[in-house]
Structure 1
Amino acid sequence: MTTRRSFDPERRLLIRTRRRITAQVAAVFSLAIALLGTLVYCVVVGEQDATARRDLAVAAMSAPMDHPPPCVWLFELRANTVRSSPGAPESLPVRETLDRVAADGRTRVDVAEVGGHTYLVRTQRRGDVPLQAVRDMYYPVTERRRLLRTLCAAEVAALLAALLIGQVLARRAIAPLGEALDRQRRFTADVSHELRSPLTRLHVRAQLAARRLRRDPDPLVVVGDVDRLVTGIGQLGEVIEDLLLSTQLRQRRRPFGPADLAALAEESADAEAARAGQRGVTIDLRRSPGDHVVCGAPSALRRVISALLDNALRHTSAGGHIWVTVCSGPETVRLSVRDDGVGLDPRDGERLLARHVGAPHTGGLGIGLALVSEVMDAHGGTIDVDGRPGAGATFTISLPRAAPDPAPRLSRIFLPQQALSETNRTPEATASGPGDASL
C-alpha cells in the first residue's frame, strides 16, 4: 500500500520556491562552468594549431629532407618524381595539392584526413622545388579529446556542486519567507483564540440584557448589563490592540508599568461571572492582605487571567468550583487558578504549554496556554501546572513585585535671613532666655 504525503498550500509554495531557486542557481553555475570550459578548450585548441602551423612552416623552409622534426615528413617533387623523408607513411603525400603548387606556386595549408589519420599539410615552393611538409596531428587531437572529456567531467561535477549549493542557498533564502508564513499562522491562531472568549462574554451579556428588557421594558433595569457590555467592548479593543503589538512581546520587551494583579483578577472573574453562571460553575476570588502590584502590561496580564479562567471553565462541569487566589511574597506576586474539573496528568504540564497541544480528552489546540507562557516569558515570570486526573488542575503564575516608589528626597529649605541668624546663635545666647531674643 502506498502512502501519499499531503502538504498544505504554504508548504507546497515553499517547496516550489526552494526548487526554483535551486534550479536557477544550478543553471547559472552550470552555464558559467560551460562558458569557462568552452573558453579554455578554444584557447588550447587555438594554441595547439598555431604552434603546429609555426613549426610546420619552419620545417618547410629549412628542415633537411633526411632529418625533419619529430612527427613531420617532407616530400619533394622533382621531374614528376616524389622524394620523401625516411619513415613517411605510404598514404602520403597529398599528390593533388603538390601538383597544384607545382603548377601555380601558391602556398597552401590544409588539414587532411588520410588513411584514418589527421594531418596538417603545408605545400609551398622551396626555391624552385615544390615541397610538402606534413605533420601528424595524432597527439594534439588526443590531447584535445582528453581535455574535452575532462571538461565534461568538470561540468557534471560542477552541476552536482551547483545543486548542493543551490539547496543551501535556497533554504537560507526562503527561511525568512517560512518565518513570515509561520508568524502569519500564529497571528491567525492567536486572533481566533483571543477573540473567542471576549465575544462569548459579550454575547452572553447581550442575551441577559435582552431577556431582562423583555421581562421589564424599563431601561434602568439593564443599566448594569449595558455598563458591562461597554466595559467588555473596551477590553475587546485592548485585546485587538495587544494582538497587533504581540510581536513586540516576542522580539523585545515593552515599556511596562505598574499593574495590580488582584484588581485584574477581580475584573476577569467579574467578566466571566455570567458565563460561569450559565454553566452552573462558581468562581471564588481570594486575595491576601497587602498590595499585589507587579510591573507589566495590564492588557496582556488580563489576557493571561482570562485564558486561565477560560481553560478552567471549559474543563469544569456543572456544579463545580473555580478558586482564584492572589497572594504576595517578599519578591513575587502569585496568582493561581484551581478547579475541580477533569484534571490532568502532571507529566503533561510542560507539553500543554506548547502551541497546538491540548489535553488528550479535549481535542483543543492549546493556543491559550501557549500565549500565557509567552506573556510570562516577556514579563520575566513563570507558570507552574499541577493536578491529577479526575481531581482538577491548578495553574500558578508568578511575577516579580513592582519596585516600591523611592522615598521622597528632602528639598533644600531656604530660611529667611532672620531665622538663619537665629539658627546660628551660640548656645550661650540661646541659654540667656527668650527675653534676649530679637523678634
Structure 2
Amino acid sequence: MDEARLKRARRRSVAQTAGAIGVVLLLVGALMFVLTSRQESRALNSELGQVLVMAEDVDDPPPGQFLARQTSGADRVEVTSSASPELVRVLDGALRRGPGRFDTDAGDDRPVRVVVAHRPDGSRWAVAADLAPLRERQDQLGIALLVAELAGLAGALVAAALLARRAVAPLATALTLQRRFVADASHELRAPLTVLHTRAQVLARRARTQPAEQLSDQLDQLVADTRTLGEVVEDLLVSAAAEHQPPPDTVVDLVEVTHDVVASMSAYAREREIELRVEATGAALVRGARTALRRALTALVDNAIGHVAVGGHVTVTVQRRDARIAAEVTDDGVGLDLAEADRLFARFAHGTDGTGRRFGLGLALVQQVAQAHRGSLEVSGAPGRGATFTLLLPAY
C-alpha cells in the first residue's frame, strides 16, 4: 500500500513538474515566435519604405518586389513589367488608396505586402513584396521552436523523474525504516515480554504461600528482566541508527561485553537445560558502540541456544587474532549446511532445524553491526556437528 502511494506521488510529481516546465517552454516559444515574426515584419516594412524613397522608376525594383507609379494628373499607371496581371490589379487599386500598407492576395494563394506613399511632386508610388519567403521563415521558425519544445519537454520529463525520485527517496526510506523498526520491535520484544510475564506469574503464585523476605531474590530477577527489556528497546534504536550513521568511536572491552551477555542469557539457557559458558580473560579492546556489540553477541548466543538440544553446550570465546579481536560462539547442536549460510543472513532468518525462540534480529543484525565496525562475520559447521559463528573486529 505504501509503495503504491509512493508511486502515485512520484507520478503526480513528475506530471506536475513536467507540465509546469512544458507550459513555461510553450510560453517562451510563443513569445520568441511572436517577437521574431514582428521583428522580421518590421524589417520588411522598413525595406519597402526605403525602396519607395529611393525609387526613380518602376523598371528595376529589388528581387521579389514590384513597383507602381502614377504621376500627378496622369491616368496611366506604370507597373514593373514582370508583374502578373493579378498583381497589376492589386497595385492599381493600391494607388487609389491613401498612404499606408496592407497585406492581400495576388492570386494563386500568393500573399503580398503593399506599401503606398505620396511624394511632394504629386506622384503616387506603391511597392508590393512577395510574403512567401517571410511566411516560409516563420514556418521554419515555428517548426524549430516546436522541435526545441518537444526536446525540452522530454528533458523536463527526465529531469522531473529524477527530481521526483530524489524527492520521494527520503520518504520511501523513512517508510522502510518505520516498517523495519516495527518488525524489529515486535520480534525483539516478544520473548523478553513472555519471560517477564512468566516470571511475574510465578512470583504471584509464590507470594501467596511464601513470606515476603523469601521473594527478594525473585523480585530482583524481575527488576533485572525489566531492565533487560529497556536495554532491548535501546538496542533497537541503536541498531536502527547504525544503518545510516557510523557507530560512536568509543573504546569497548569485548570481554566485558561478553560476560554481560552470558550473564543475561544464562537464565534462558538454564530453562532449556543448556550449559552456557564463557572463555575470555584479560581485555579485548575494540572501537565502536557498546550497545550494538552487545546486541550482536546476544543474537549469536540466542541463535546457538535455539539450535542446541537439551543437555547441549554453548561456548563463547574471546581472543586476539593478530590485529583483530575474535568473538566465537560455538555450539554442539544440529549444525548447519554451509550451502544455506548466505540465506541465514536475511533478517529474522533461522536454520531449518532450529527449535528455540529467538530474542535477536538474527544473523542479519550481527552482519550489519560487524560491517558498521569495519569487521566481518564468519561461519563454519556441518550438519549434526554444531556450528561456530565468529565476529571479527579490528583491535584497538
TM-score of the alignment, normalized to the shorter chain, above 0.5: yes
Aligned partner letter, 1:155: E
Aligned position for 1:118: 111
- Conservation of the 8 A alpha-carbon contact between 1:281 and 1:313: no
Corresponding residue for residue 266 of structure 2: 270
Please state whether the residue corresponding to 1:159 is helix, strand or coil. Answer: helix
Q: Deviations over 1:145-200 (max 9, x none)?
A: 11111111111111112212222333333333333333333322332222223222
Q: How far 1:118 sits from its partner (Å)?
A: 1.0
Q: Counterpart amino acid of 1:351?
A: R
Deviation, structure 1 residue 74: 1.7
Deviations 1:263-289 (A, max 9, x none): 22431232314xx52xx542332536x
After TM superposition, give the deviation of residue 242 of structure 1 in Å: 3.0
Partner deviation per Cα, 1:90-136 (whole Å, 9 max, x = no partner) = 112336853643xxxx3121111231111111123233233322111
Alignment correspondent of 1:393? 387
CA positional deviation for 1:36: 3.2
Which AA in structure 1 matches 2:84? P
- Counterparts of 2:96 and 2:227 in 1: how far apart (Å)? 107
Deviations 1:406-433 (CA, angstroms, capped at 9, x unpaired): xxxxxxxxxxxxxxxxxxxxxxxxxxxx
Question: Structure 1 pair 370/140, CA: closer, same or farther in 2 (3 Å)?
Answer: same
Of residues 319, 340, 347, the one that matches 1:355 is 347
Give the corresponding residue for 1:232.
225
Q: What letter matches 1:340 in structure 2?
A: G
1:99 and 1:262 map into 2 onto residues whose CA distance is: 110
Unmatched runs of 5 consecutive residues or more in structure 2: none
Query: How far 1:228 sits from its partner (Å)?
Result: 0.8
The 5-angstrom pairing of residues 175-186 of structure 1 reads 175-186=169-180
Q: Pick from 143, 147, 157: which aligns with 2:141? A: 147
Could you say what the CA RMSD is over the residues aligned between the two structures, in angstroms? 3.2
User: SS state of the match for residue 367, structure 1?
Assistant: coil
> Which one-letter code corresponds to 2:196 in the other structure?
L
The equivalent of 1:415 in structure 2 is none
| Number of residue equivalences | 382
**Structure-2 change in CA distance of 1:228 and 1:242 (3 Å):** same
Give distance in 2, aligned partners of 1:17 and 1:324. Answer: 52
Q: Which amino acid aligns with 2:211?
A: D
Name the residue aligned to 2:31.
39
Show CA shifts across 1:54-99 (max 9, x none). 2212222332211122111122346444331111121123368536
1:246-267 per-position Cα deviation (integer Å, ceiling 9, x unaligned) = 4554422322443514522431
Look up the match of 1:51: 43
State yes or no: 1:291 paired with 2:282. yes
Maintained 8 Å contact 1:344/1:359: yes
Is residue 73–residue 134 contact of structure 1 (8 Å, CA) maintained in 2? yes
* Partners of 1:262 and 1:292 within 8 A in 2: no
Q: Kindly indicate whether structure 1 or structure 2 has the higher relative contact order, using CA contacts under 8 Å at least 6 residues apart.
A: 2
TM-score by length of 1: 0.76
| Cα separation, 2, equivalents of 1:75 and 1:297 | 97
CA contact (8 A) 1:77 1:98 kept: no
Unaligned runs of 5+ in 1: 1-7, 403-439
| Partner Cα separation in structure 2 for residue 285 and residue 157 of structure 1 | 70
Q: Counterparts of 1:380 and 1:61 in 2: how far apart (Å)?
A: 88
Partner of 2:190: 196
Query: Which residue number in structure 1 is paired with residue 333 of structure 2?
Result: 340
Secondary structure at the residue paired with 1:66? Answer: coil
User: Which aligned pairs between 1:7-406 and structure 2 lie closer than 5 A?
Assistant: 8-9=1-2, 11-63=3-55, 64-77=57-70, 79-92=74-87, 93-94=89-90, 97-98=93-94, 100-101=96-97, 106-115=98-107, 116-126=109-119, 127-214=121-208, 216-246=209-239, 249-250=242-243, 251-254=245-248, 255-258=250-253, 260-273=256-269, 277=271, 280-287=272-279, 290-291=281-282, 293-295=284-286, 297-316=289-308, 319=310, 321-329=312-320, 332=325, 334-341=327-334, 343-355=335-347, 357-359=349-351, 367-379=361-373, 381-398=375-392
